[in-house]
Amino acid sequence: MTGWLGPEEWQAVGLSLKVSLWAIALSLPPGIFIAYALARWEFRGKQVLNMLVHLPLILPPVVTGYLLLLTFGRRGPLGAWLYETFDLVFAFRWTGAALAAAIMAFPLMVRAIRLAIEAVDPKLEQAAATLGASRVQVFSTVTLPLILPGVIAGAVLGFAKAMGEFGATITFVSNIPGQTQTLPSAIYTFLQVPGGETAALRLVLVSVFVAMTALALSEILARRAAKRVAGG
């Protein structure tokens, strides 16, 4: 296996996996929270929040990447503060790639989870409350178990999106081998040099494999979610 991909290619695949896993792990809890708020609560600014969440889906990725650079760059308002307070740097680091991937995957994840939450009958949550469960307890014992397959499906979809993120990542954190050169960036780089086509093709195959596995997995889990909510 190791002979099939060169060290630089392995590095890109490994980095992409690391970046995507971190992106999904850290954005999942706020993703569930925002999906719940959008599905169940009425509040001022709900439409604005909904728009903000979906913005990365509509904006050109380069624009998102540039906005991230402006905000989270070393001199950006949030970037400077995070650096001074937590010694956390995003610009031109793998952490920045993870942030960009998380932002780009967020709308897909929230959409999937929100659909799962909307499929849960609020009457079940009311019933749980009459049995003495507080809001948090109702969520963890009724809502979450019922939406879990939907959450996993959303996470898988988000993971696949994070693996493929290119525009925002390259704009925000550039294309540094071993640091910010993710799988799509590596493919792009290989295509720029003469004789790089075979390496690019190998990475394309890896990408196709990851994407298809993720889609199949999310399909299976979504079906299980439907069955579970129906009480099979």
Partner 1 sequence: MSLHVEISHPLADFTLNVAFDAPTGITALYGPSGTGKTTVINAVSGLLTPQKGHISLSGESLYDSDSRINLPVHKRHLGYVFQDGRLFPHLSVRQNLTYGQRYSRPNVESPSLDDVADLLDITGLLGRRPGSLSGGEKQRVAIGRALLSRPRMLLMDEPLAALDPARKEEILPYLEKMRDHTRIPILYVSHSVAEVARLATWVVVLEKGRVAMSGPAETVLSDPAMVHQLGLREAGAVLPASIIRHHADGLTELQVSGGCLFLPEMDRPVGLQTRVRVLAHDIILSREAPKGLSALNILSGDITAIRAGGGPGVIIQIKCGEDHLLARITRRSADAMALKPGDHVYAVIKSVSIARTDIGTG
Residues lying near partner 1 in the complex (CB under 8 A)? 121, 123-124, 126-135, 137-138, 141-142, 145-146, 228-232
For 125, residues 6+ apart whose C-beta sits below 8 A from its C-beta are 138, 142, 143
Shortest Å, Cβ 124 to partner 1 = 6
Shortest Å, Cβ 126 to partner 1 = 6
Measure Cα distances from 214 to 93, 157, 179 in Å: 26, 7, 25
Question: Can you tell me the distance from the alpha carbon of 199 to that of 75, in angstroms, rounded to the nearest whole number?
Answer: 37
Nearer to partner 1, 59 or 229 (CB): 229
Nearer to partner 1, 77 or 122 (CB): 122
What's the chain's length in residues?
232
Shortest Å, Cβ 130 to partner 1 = 4
Nearer to partner 1, 141 or 179 (CB): 141
Question: Can you tell me the distance from the alpha carbon of 72 to that of 93, in angstroms, rounded to the nearest whole number?
Answer: 12
Nearer to partner 1, 24 or 153 (CB): 153
Shortest Å, Cβ 228 to partner 1 = 6
Shortest Å, Cβ 94 to partner 1 = 38
**And the tokens for 46?**
């709900």
Nearer to partner 1, 202 or 224 (CB): 224
Q: With beta carbons less than 8 A apart as the criterion, state whether 69 and 141 touch.
A: no
Q: With beta carbons less than 8 A apart as the criterion, state whether 9 and 186 touch.
A: yes
